[in-house]
Structure 1
Amino acid sequence: MVPDRRTRPFVLRSAAALVTCGMVAAGLAGTADRPARASTPSDEPPIVLVQSTQLLAPLSPYLTGTNIDQWFGNSHGLWDPVADAPNPDVVEKTRRTGLGMVRFPGGTSANLYDWKQGIGPTAERGCQTDGRANGGAGVLDSVYGPDEYMEFVEATGTEPEIMTPMSNSTPADAADWVEYLNAPVGTNPRGGVAWAQRRADNGHPEPYGVKFWEIGNEPDRVNAQNYWRSTAPAVAARQYAFGGSQAQVDQRLARGCDRRPAASRSDGTPGQQLELLYPPAVPGSQTIEVGGAAWTAVADLSAAGPDDTVYTFDPVTGAVRFGDGVHGAIPPDDAVLRADYTAGPKPGFVHFYDAMKQVDPSIDVCATWAPVTTASGLGGASFAELMAQAGRPDDYDCVVIHPYTNFLRDFGDADWETAREGHDEHMLGEARATRLVRDLKADVAKHSTGEAYVAISEFGALWFGGQGNVSSYPSWTTAMSHATYMASQWTRYAELGLPWVLGNTLISEAPGGLRAVLGGPTNYAYTVDATVREQLAPVLRAGGRPVRTTVHENPQVTPVEPEPGFGPSYDALTSTAAVGADGNLRIVVVNRHPDQAVTAKVVPAGFRHTGQAAVSTVAGDDFTSFNGIDNPDDVQLERSGLTVGADDFEYEFAAHSVTVLELPRQR
């Protein structure tokens, strides 16, 4: 609760006195994610202390990037196949947000993506395999491919970032992709196909120049996205890093791009060919079963009789071919076709890194083994530690993490009795997400002797499929609660100096827009998330550097439902600030209190300003307020000017709000 300031006097020392009295030196200042606390309750108001001379790592314009989690189906209307161009409505709204970076081809569903099937004339492109469990939606299209993605990037002024699948592709495939996107025409770094010329033939002679690449998506999600790797986290971590072999047991065969269970059943036709899910296979390790009975491998079907239950097998491609009823038996109609085999040897991150860097040494190639739970490997040997033990501490450019707040996993229930409970869980989970990132950053710094950094290609707050009854807060996915969660994370990541951060997804499959910046088709609502990104864009694109910012006497918000393991309360305010290349100081303050404004003293220590401030605020009438299809303008970006005086000043930060105060430097 914030005390009523009308009932008490206010006294504050000057900014200089505040610093010289030893608050920072004595350790009372805290950090952006662990604010300073007095030993006893104080009547003093909160203090947003901006130490403008304590510069941190450069502020990245890519801090408010986003994922494109599904490329198929024209990426939910992002691509217009009739016009063969990006959807102009999506382009306009994306540009308006000031979005920093966009990821392709996405996350889980793209883990088996084959980029070579997605280039060239659309009618000649191949199919894609859904990376989700049991083949997901089955066979997927390749209409929106790498060139279409880059056309969208160029139209929106965003930076590209590519997730390179590794479970069904090779380091050579990834190196070819780098060559296709980055090599000048007339060069062919590794011989073979002239991929730069192929790009030019497809309509783009100039290199795209994609700098940021990550290898795999959430490989630490064992039992969900381990694919060929072991389900034991310690084993899977080494396999991700260095490759290896792994037994595959009772695994259904695939039929081309289709990995759904139905595709592994015989259709009764002659000469059927199916494939292992994860070739190559160790020669001789396979057992192929038809309807539960093992058949026999032969070198050639031509010598087999019509009733011989035999097959041929290529361990390199994983192709399994059955007879035609004359030379070898036809598997009975509807019989399930399965295999036991040892997949491998499969490549690991180091092999992808070496091959891609050979083509373009200037790119950043990032690892993605960054567990967030004990079950997924948190607490075991980290990726950075494994690389150091192998004598390769510098052979990666960054480690990517997905520090989601998972309501079901983190809080142990599947519903909210009230909207306030949902709001509280957003804010409590946000602090945990920050700890995960900070700990990973420290781990990379400890084990890397180079300049490896930490980045984020997905984050946000959601249920991950375990959602129960949340009718008390149906708008939660795009409401002010989620927007203040995101803004809080951006303040943390600015001060941690992360070079790029991708949060939520650009477009959702559903019109309601699950954690989507622009909602879903066909309306593409300009959500509160989009509005806050627009608000922060001038801060991020002003250049310059963040400065150390702390909140003293931070008001505490008590959750309506106790949440064991998350503490009795959460901070009302988060804040960051930056001095831009123009010399102006921009201060971001997020008030996460659901229903109370907070009046704080803003202390721009060491910064002489003109006494005038440009103010922007995103709030809404309630923490449940949102912009949707039927109410597209409920939450607006409000701008105003304010006289604040020449030194410290008080400001009332509205409940559930994001505020930016820009102070021009006194010339």
Structure 2
Amino acid sequence: MRKRTAATAVVLVAAGLTQVQAPADARPGGRVEIHVDRGPLIMADGVPAPTIEPEIFGANARWIDDELGAWDPATHGPAAGFADAAAAAKLALIRYPGGTVANFFDFKKAIGPVAQRGCQTSGGFAAVRFGNLPGSRNGFGPDEEEALAGQIGAKTMVMVPSINQTATDAADYVEYMNSPSDGAATNPNGGTDWAEVRAANGHPAPYGIKTWEYGNEPFLDGQRYWRDEDPQVRVKQFIEGGWSRQTAASSTYQNDDGLFSGCDLVNRKTGTGAADQTYRTRYNPIALPADATPESGPIAEPVLTVNGVRWTRVDSLATAGATDQVYRIGQADGTVSFGDGTHGAIPAKNAKLSIEYTTGRQDGFLDFVKAMKAVDPKITVCSGWGKPEFVDAMGNRPYDCIGIHSYTDQPGGDADGAYDPAELYQQLMNASDTPTAELAELREHIAANFPDPRRRPTLAVTEYGTISQNGPTGVSTPNNFAAMQMHNVYETTMLIGQLTNGVRLAINSNLNGGPAADPAKRDWGNILGSPPGFGVTGRSMSLTLAAPMIGAAPRNVTMTGNPTAPDQHYTAVVAAATRTKEGVQLLVVNRSLDQAMPITVDPAGGPAVRSARQTTVTDDDITAYNNDQAQPVQPATTTLRKGPKVEAELPPHSANLIELMY
């Protein structure tokens, strides 16, 4: 068991939190001088930071179960309380249909009458990976998302899945969302006129989705799916497409050699003993030896076994004998078909079925972008591989945008299931500068490949937050850790790093938690609380302090006297600033655990400061969070004494906005 740093240390038990004051961190008391320059902030790649857009207030929405209760199918509108909470959170952008949960999302199964919609395959967190999601959970499709966004005045960013979807599928999606309904006049992707399908579904006007993203976290082993285990091979496959052998030897997906049915790609099938058995492989299409190209190299024949005995692939079952151990493959959809006992043998009941095969050619990022922009050249398509290896592998090939997922891992507590919040806080703050450094590194990598700043892809943070990990003894972080005031400080630090690195849109993880009958199990660690009610969380209150900065470009900020806590790796104060015709806006965080931080803000000339005010979001307790029973984390505004320089005091573990009005 870890030692407590003081008798007043907080003990948090997973079943319930006891909230008391955290111990002192003995931070030295001095005044921090903050100088807001009149000149622009120059970023890591040597160019000025761009104007801050409303889309910095974005959130990741997960499509399942009516967006976890945000959508009311009875009224065909936002659930009660959602619109008001979204307005308070200044929600300007929704990432749909989400992240991991949407890795297999098929928009064609999520449109039209809800009762007629098909099943979907879960990409991860919604069920067991690859699990079946029935049509009853598929009521929040693209049309419902646009109705929700339209009624709260938000825009949508669409994440296009890169698994079991083709570039043509993605182009169809763009056509459904953006093309005009004009009869036979336009059908940019050929085939089905998806704009007319949209009109038949009751939405004749195009939605005009401007920002799209290809793929979600393909750099993670848990989301590589068909791609190679070698990261260097994998990033090339992500960019250019390709082929990959699927076998039982996969260290990540042990059932890659299974046969499945429908949307359920987790529970492999065994023989039924019936005639005309048909299954599907986990991934499609299937590549055969005759499909080999110089790019693919030789493609091995599939190896299908029934109870360990290898059967033979044939082009047609019609000429097979009654006992011939043969099967037929449907390459495009990955189907595997067996005989009826007259033409081809029948796999016995409970027979183990296994197939080793090559999937491909799969389309890659370049294929998707080309096909999507052929439908609508005005859209922006971001890469979902937001890492330096993608930037380096792309080289100077042009692309619009790179979508970064800014997360740090937060380990849990000790062997007793107890937590020392002071230690938890210090771990979190020690990690809070890492995402900012990663953004700056990406800027430098991009600049190395694009010397002309006008050609450089933009940065988008398409998810950010923390990923809670079990500690060394298996203990996780406390319930609703991501809702606590300590986490609000961390998130606002991340936002400051995004503003100072020219991020044009930022998607918080996540929009809202799902409903739960037990209040103790409801999730408040999001932009909005869980339904019913969707209370405004302390996180949202902290982040939206930046609202007055929208429409202006960051100015350079320099500080002196900014202390570092003993034995820690972070400075107490971080800040970003803008100047408008109204005055100076300074978003500033005090990361000190328990010491107030006196500051002096120097606006560096300009008109005389007529008035000054400070808005602070914090609570004395670093473990406090807002829920449906109490809302301890609230903003408070105070008037500051005006002068050529303005003095203020930042409470411990707080997010603040200092406004100097001309």
Whether TM exceeds 0.5 here: the answer is yes
The equivalent of 1:66 in structure 2 is 59
The CA deviation at 1:273 is 1.5
Range with bigger deviation, 248-257 or 296-305: 296-305
Given the alignment of the two structures, is residue 552 of structure 1 paired with residue 560 of structure 2, yes or no? yes
Q: Kindly indicate whether the alpha-carbon contact (under 8 Å) linking 2:414 and 2:471 is maintained by their aligned counterparts in 1.
A: no
1:17-36 paired onto structure 2 within 5 Å = none
Task: Give the distance between the partners of 2:457 and 2:415, measured in 1 at CA.
Answer: 37
SS of alignment partner, residue 403 of structure 1: strand
TM-aligned CA distance change 1:354 to 1:109, over 3 Å: same
Task: Give the distance between the partners of 2:77 and 2:247, measured in 1 at CA.
Answer: 45
The equivalent of 2:448 in structure 1 is 446
Given the alignment of the two structures, is residue 526 of structure 1 paired with residue 526 of structure 2, yes or no? no
Normalization by structure 1: what TM-score?
A: 0.84
TM-aligned CA distance change 1:332 to 1:472, over 3 Å: closer
TM-aligned CA distance change 1:472 to 1:349, over 3 Å: closer
Given the alignment of the two structures, is residue 94 of structure 1 paired with residue 86 of structure 2, yes or no? yes
Q: Kindly indicate whether the alpha-carbon contact (under 8 Å) linking 2:499 and 2:576 is maintained by their aligned counterparts in 1.
A: yes
Structure 1, residues 148-180: CA drift from partner, whole Å, max 9, x if none?
111111112122111101121111111111111
The equivalent of 2:377 in structure 1 is 361
Given the alignment of the two structures, is residue 127 of structure 1 paired with residue 119 of structure 2, yes or no? yes
The CA deviation at 1:385 is 2.5
Range with bigger deviation, 198-207 or 159-168: 198-207
TM-aligned CA distance change 1:456 to 1:415, over 3 Å: farther
The CA deviation at 1:86 is 2.3
* Partner of residue 279 from structure 2, selected from 265, 274, 279: 274
Structure 1, residues 367-388: CA drift from partner, whole Å, max 9, x if none?
12234xxxxxx6xxx2233222
1:185-200 paired onto structure 2 within 5 Å = 185-186=181-182, 187-200=186-199
TM-aligned CA distance change 1:650 to 1:523, over 3 Å: same
Q: Kindly indicate whether the alpha-carbon contact (under 8 Å) linking 1:444 and 1:453 is maintained by their aligned counterparts in 2.
A: no
Letter in 2 for 1:426: L
The CA deviation at 1:643 is 4.2
Percent identical pairs in the alignment equals 33
Given the alignment of the two structures, is residue 517 of structure 1 paired with residue 527 of structure 2, yes or no? yes
The equivalent of 2:397 in structure 1 is 393
Task: Give the distance between the partners of 2:306 and 2:529, measured in 1 at CA.
Answer: 46
The equivalent of 2:293 in structure 1 is none
1:341-490 paired onto structure 2 within 5 Å = 341-371=357-387, 382-388=389-395, 393-394=397-398, 396-408=399-411, 417-448=419-450, 449=452, 450-464=455-469, 473-490=478-495
Task: Give the distance between the partners of 1:473 and 1:229, measured in 2 at CA.
Answer: 35
The CA deviation at 1:614 is 3.3
Task: Give the distance between the partners of 1:440 and 1:414, measured in 2 at CA.
Answer: 40
Range with bigger deviation, 326-335 or 78-87: 326-335
Letter in 2 for 1:577: A
Q: Kindly indicate whether the alpha-carbon contact (under 8 Å) linking 2:446 and 2:456 is maintained by their aligned counterparts in 1.
A: no
SS of alignment partner, residue 87 of structure 2: helix
The CA deviation at 1:316 is 2.2
The CA deviation at 1:474 is 4.1
Task: Give the distance between the partners of 2:475 and 2:636, measured in 1 at CA.
Answer: 30
TM-aligned CA distance change 1:174 to 1:49, over 3 Å: same
Task: Give the distance between the partners of 1:90 and 1:60, measured in 2 at CA.
Answer: 23
Letter in 1 for 2:432: E
- The count of corresponding residues between Structure 1 and Structure 2 is 595
The equivalent of 1:248 in structure 2 is 246
SS of alignment partner, residue 88 of structure 1: coil
Given the alignment of the two structures, is residue 149 of structure 1 paired with residue 145 of structure 2, yes or no? yes
TM-aligned CA distance change 1:468 to 1:201, over 3 Å: farther
SS of alignment partner, residue 50 of structure 1: strand
SS of alignment partner, residue 54 of structure 2: coil
* Partner of residue 105 from structure 1, selected from 75, 78, 97: 97
Task: Give the distance between the partners of 1:101 and 1:468, measured in 2 at CA.
Answer: 39
Given the alignment of the two structures, is residue 664 of structure 1 paired with residue 661 of structure 2, yes or no? yes
Q: Kindly indicate whether the alpha-carbon contact (under 8 Å) linking 2:640 and 2:647 is maintained by their aligned counterparts in 1.
A: no
Given the alignment of the two structures, is residue 257 of structure 1 paired with residue 267 of structure 2, yes or no? no
What are the ranges of 5 or more consecutive residues in structure 1 without an aligned counterpart? 1-40, 372-377, 560-567
Structure 1, residues 102-140: CA drift from partner, whole Å, max 9, x if none?
101111121111111111111221111111296344234
* Partner of residue 155 from structure 2, selected from 155, 159, 162: 159
SS of alignment partner, residue 240 of structure 1: helix
TM-aligned CA distance change 1:586 to 1:137, over 3 Å: same
The equivalent of 2:13 in structure 1 is none
* Partner of residue 33 from structure 2, selected from 47, 67, 88: 47
SS of alignment partner, residue 464 of structure 2: coil
1:459-608 paired onto structure 2 within 5 Å = 459-464=464-469, 473-509=478-514, 511-513=521-523, 515-540=525-550, 543-558=551-566, 568-580=568-580, 582-608=581-607
Letter in 2 for 1:658: A
* Partner of residue 632 from structure 2, selected from 616, 634, 641: 634
Task: Give the distance between the partners of 2:564 and 2:495, measured in 1 at CA.
Answer: 20
Task: Give the distance between the partners of 1:137 and 1:91, measured in 2 at CA.
Answer: 32
Task: Give the distance between the partners of 1:308 and 1:181, measured in 2 at CA.
Answer: 49
The CA deviation at 1:629 is 3.0
Q: Kindly indicate whether the alpha-carbon contact (under 8 Å) linking 2:491 and 2:543 is maintained by their aligned counterparts in 1.
A: no
What are the ranges of 5 or more consecutive residues in structure 2 without an aligned counterpart? 1-26, 42-48, 249-256, 290-300
The CA deviation at 1:414 is 12
Q: Kindly indicate whether the alpha-carbon contact (under 8 Å) linking 1:609 and 1:663 is maintained by their aligned counterparts in 2.
A: no
The CA deviation at 1:556 is 1.5
The equivalent of 2:12 in structure 1 is none
Task: Give the distance between the partners of 2:344 and 2:368, measured in 1 at CA.
Answer: 40
Letter in 2 for 1:253: L
Normalization by structure 2: what TM-score?
A: 0.85
SS of alignment partner, residue 287 of structure 2: coil
Structure 1, residues 435-478: CA drift from partner, whole Å, max 9, x if none?
11111111112113513111111111121566967688544220
TM-aligned CA distance change 1:461 to 1:320, over 3 Å: same
1:218-367 paired onto structure 2 within 5 Å = 218-221=217-220, 223-250=221-248, 251-261=257-267, 263-284=268-289, 285-367=301-383
Letter in 1 for 2:50: A
TM-aligned CA distance change 1:609 to 1:661, over 3 Å: farther
Q: Kindly indicate whether the alpha-carbon contact (under 8 Å) linking 2:433 and 2:493 is maintained by their aligned counterparts in 1.
A: no
Task: Give the distance between the partners of 2:351 and 2:536, measured in 1 at CA.
Answer: 50
Q: Kindly indicate whether the alpha-carbon contact (under 8 Å) linking 2:640 and 2:646 is maintained by their aligned counterparts in 1.
A: no
TM-aligned CA distance change 1:351 to 1:330, over 3 Å: same
Letter in 1 for 2:117: R
* Partner of residue 138 from structure 1, selected from 132, 143, 155: 132
SS of alignment partner, residue 443 of structure 2: helix
Q: Kindly indicate whether the alpha-carbon contact (under 8 Å) linking 1:117 and 1:125 is maintained by their aligned counterparts in 2.
A: yes
Range with bigger deviation, 351-360 or 307-316: 307-316
Task: Give the distance between the partners of 2:421 and 2:356, measured in 1 at CA.
Answer: 49
The CA deviation at 1:78 is 1.2
The equivalent of 2:206 in structure 1 is 207
The equivalent of 2:110 in structure 1 is 118
Task: Give the distance between the partners of 1:53 and 1:218, measured in 2 at CA.
Answer: 37
Query: In angstroms, what is the RMSD of aligned CA positions?
Result: 2.5
Structure 1, residues 398-422: CA drift from partner, whole Å, max 9, x if none?
111112011249x999987401111
TM-aligned CA distance change 1:471 to 1:303, over 3 Å: closer
Task: Give the distance between the partners of 1:431 and 1:530, measured in 2 at CA.
Answer: 20
TM-aligned CA distance change 1:267 to 1:482, over 3 Å: farther
